[in-house]
Chains A and B, each alone.
Chain A
Amino acid sequence: MSQTLIDERKLGTEQVQVRVVDSDVHPYPRRGELAPFIPGKFRKLFAARGEGVGNSVFYDPPDYAHASAMRVDSFPADGEFAGTDPHLTFRQLIMESGSDIAILGPLNSSGGQTEEETHALAVATNLWQDNCWLDSENNWHQRYRGSIVAAIDAPDLAAREIEQWAGHPYMAQVLINAEMRPAWGDPRYNPVWEAATRHNLPVACHLGRGQHNELPMSPVGFLSYNHDFMVTYSLLAANQVMSLVFDGVFDRFPTLRIVFIEHAYSWILPLMWRMDAIYAARGPENGLKRKPSEYVKDHIWFTTQPLDFPEDKLELTNALEWMEADKILLFSSDYPHWTFDEPRWVAKHIPERMRERIMFQNSIDVFNLPSTVPALPGQVRAF
């Protein structure tokens, strides 16, 4: 790959077709990089709390002390954390793996102890993205899109933050945490859905790991290992889907688009059957206007990573057909996390009939992205 290209940071005039949109990429602030963007009132407080603290991991992914839950080869040479260097992300993900457009989903905005604090972190994270990733120096290639991070537990403040950034040329979605209680059917969240739909922005949620009841907690007590914990984490998303559907959120907001990031997706197949069976058995006792599975197919998308792979690949192919995956999946890599899915590998395992929709077209539609971008000589094309 051409180092000269990166050093020059100049775009040619030639346009190429977008073939891969990567809907789950994680940028991290370098040490101290976020602090200047934190609203003054909270800057000292956060600094004081952060003083002298260490690692807080529990439910540790494999070999954590050496890998920190990251792709081991994604740490920059300067000793900073994985995902802190926009140029390295560009080289590894866009040039060498062929993700044409990367939707950045920062995860550093959780951890506030009050709604105001969570909101302050969201404000800082948005300013930081704008200044350190989406600016002309770091996004010279125009391949990065950002997320308007919004504190879902402070719906009015979140709506204001959405208003603040809507219309930014590189902000592609609203990003909220998945774990706040209650579930999303609760009308208290209306201002967020309202602001997002007003600006035609999809609302995405990434899984996070909080403390206490936002860990999240299973209904039958704490799991033992990262293995059973991360696998059953999908059930939180399954419950959010049911809440959105049965509480009538999509009837309240007929243009709302929801994206579930990294919650896995194959469970939506039996979940659609189950919701439809309950609907058929109990009738529209919640005032629903349509079958639950129809709301899912029109309003909800799932990112592909981690692509859970069965022993027999034909089973995956069949499941993708039965769930009409071409309507609901968006490719994602999760770079630079250890569960990274390589675009070429994913493309290979998606049935050809669905490949283009899942690898890029659905995302172009959901995130209102361009279908061509300025060419980058030497870039790997994933398929």
Chain B
Amino acid sequence: MHRLARGREHVVATVDEIAPGESKVVPIGRHGVGVYNVNGKFYAIANYCPHEGGPLCVGRTHGQSVVDPERPGGAAEAREGEFIYCPWHQWGFELATGTTAVKPEWSIRTYPVRVEGRNVIVTA
């Protein structure tokens, strides 16, 4: 696959190419960059897990478990789709910030994304 150069702006998709809840891995840098549409907002992360180097974007996005005494089992899912979970050891990272509250020193790389007209543009 043709690799894109790093450190500049790339038009990676058109907005309707990545529907809400969907994502796309584009070949930027050594491991690629995953572009995610979370409820209409776009985020971009490195396809590389800082833990042992797993291919992060193969993992599933979902929310975060929170205590909810009203629900059966006492827990509920909050902020659905806002976290990426690594396909290897299932560590979760917030797509927006790349971090987690539990162990902030282990964070993933995120990249600025903006939408111009119909284009999704990543600076990576």
Interface SS of chain B: loop
A61 — nearest CB in chain B belongs to which residue?
A: B90
Chain B residues with CB under 8 Å of A72's CB are 58-60, 87-88
Kindly state whether residue B29 has any CB partner on chain A within 8 Å. Answer: no
Find residues 41-72 in chain A having any chain B CB closer than 8 Å to their own CB.
61-63, 66-67, 71-72
- How many residues of B are counted as interface, with CB atoms below 8 angstroms from the partner's CB atoms? 13
Place the interface of chain A in its size category: 10 to 19
B55–A67 CB distance below 8 A: no
CB contact between B85 and one of A63, A344, A345 (< 8 Å): that residue: A63
Which of B52, B55, B58, B60 lies in contact with A63, CB distance below 8 A?
B60
Q: Is the CB of A66 within 8 A of B60?
A: yes
User: If A66-B60, A72-B59 touch, does A344 touch B89 (CB 8 Å cutoff)?
Assistant: no
Across the interface, A339 reaches (CB within 8 A) one of B55, B58, B89, namely B89
Q: Is the CB of A345 within 8 A of B53?
A: yes
Q: How would residues 52 to 68 of chain B score, 1 for a CB under 8 Å from any chain A CB and 0 otherwise?
A: 11110011101000000
- Label chain A's interface by main secondary structure: loop
Residues of A within 8 A of B58 (CB): 72-73
> Given A73-B58, A342-B52, are A62 and B90 also a contact pair (CB < 8 Å)?
yes
Q: Which residues of A contact B53 (CB under 8 A)?
A: 342, 344-345
Q: For the complex, what is the distance from the CA of A72 to the CA of B89, rounded to whole Å?
A: 9
Q: State the B residues within 8 Å of A (CB).
A: 52-55, 58-60, 62, 85, 87-90
Other A-B pairs, 16, CB within 8 Å; known A72-B59, A339-B89, A341-B52: A62-B85, A62-B90, A63-B60, A63-B85, A63-B90, A67-B90, A72-B58, A73-B54, A73-B87, A73-B88, A338-B88, A338-B89, A340-B52, A342-B53, A344-B53, A345-B52
